């Protein structure tokens, strides 16, 4: 039985666009639904902010969409036909092939594509962190996240990053790194303990009801984010 027959996800797309403060509310309301959008398996529309040390900083007017698809053709149809896609068309989006998943996100049942380049190949990688926050753990989560995010934002190998939120519980991050080795050094390097300390605290008393860390190979980017196309910049830096 193929991945499509089992309802598993082959690709993910991430979209960001500066639509204006009022229009962000409309984007949040217009989250696509799998039962009415052909080929869609999962979607979440979000507020966005900066990945940085300190308290969360929302970016007014910038909206985000995370979506998972059966294949590229399903995403192509969405981009050509859906009103939300037209609303986000002035921003940036990227297609992502899953390479590795840690944790669980049941509403987005990713299975690694055996044809995708895996951990043996360096080069640009994207990472999504996804969480359904335990509200009683919100303050410890924000403190741990602040330290780890500050360290990531200062890393010269980080090409692009966006914090994601849909109150009251959904939180996440998107990050794009010059290379797999650079991302691993941030996450596991002995001289960079902030991320490992956040992981330790989460294991001791979980921040989330459910959470996942998903690594991807980016491809098929279109548009610009903050004046440049991040995947092209990552490829250039890694070359």
Length, in residues, of the chain: 239
Query: Each residue of 117-134: pLDDT tens digit?
Result: 555 567 899 999 999 999
Q: Which residues pair with 125 in a beta bridge?
A: 177
The secondary structure element, H or E, covering residue 145 is helix 138-153
**Quick check: 89 pLDDT over 50?**
yes
**Quick check: 17 pLDDT over 60?**
yes
Give the pTM. Answer: 0.90
Q: How confident is the model at residue 199 (pLDDT cuts 50, 70, 90)?
A: confident
**Quick check: 147 pLDDT over 50?**
yes
- The span from the CA of 99 to the CA of 91, in Å, is 25
Query: Each residue of 18-67: pLDDT tens digit?
Result: 999 999 999 999 999 999 999 999 999 999 999 888 877 899 999 999 99
| Radius of gyration of the chain from its Cα atoms, rounded to whole angstroms | 17
For 71-75, what is the mean pLDDT? 96
């Amino acid at each position: 039985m193929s991945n499509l027959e089992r309802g598993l996800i082959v690709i993910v797309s991430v979209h960001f666009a500066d639509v204006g403060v009022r229009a962000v509310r409309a984007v949040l309301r217009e989250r696509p639904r799998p039962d009415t959008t052909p080929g869609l398996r999962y979607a979440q529309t979000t507020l966005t902010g900066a990945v940085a040390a300190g308290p969360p900083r929302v970016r007014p007017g910038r909206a985000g969409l995370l979506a998972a698809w059966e294949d590229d053709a399903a995403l192509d149809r969405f981009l050509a036909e859906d009103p939300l896609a037209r609303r986000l068309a002035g921003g940036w989006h990227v297609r992502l092939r899953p390479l590795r998943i840690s944790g669980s996100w049941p509403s987005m049942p990713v299975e690694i594509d055996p044809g995708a380049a895996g951990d043996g190949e360096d080069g640009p990688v994207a990472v999504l962190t996804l969480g359904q926050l335990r509200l009683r753990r919100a303050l410890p989560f924000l403190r741990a996240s602040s330290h780890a995010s500050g360290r990531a934002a200062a890393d010269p190998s980080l090409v692009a990053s966006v914090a994601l939120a849909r109150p009251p519980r959904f939180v996440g991050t998107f990050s794009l790194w010059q290379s797999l080795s650079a991302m691993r050094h941030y996450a596991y390097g002995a001289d960079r303990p902030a991320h490992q300390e956040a992981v330790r605290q989460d294991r001791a008393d979980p921040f989330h009801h459910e959470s996942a860390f998903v690594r991807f190979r980016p491809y098929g980017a279109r548009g610009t984010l903050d004046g440049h196309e991040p995947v092209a910049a990552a490829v250039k830096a890694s070359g």
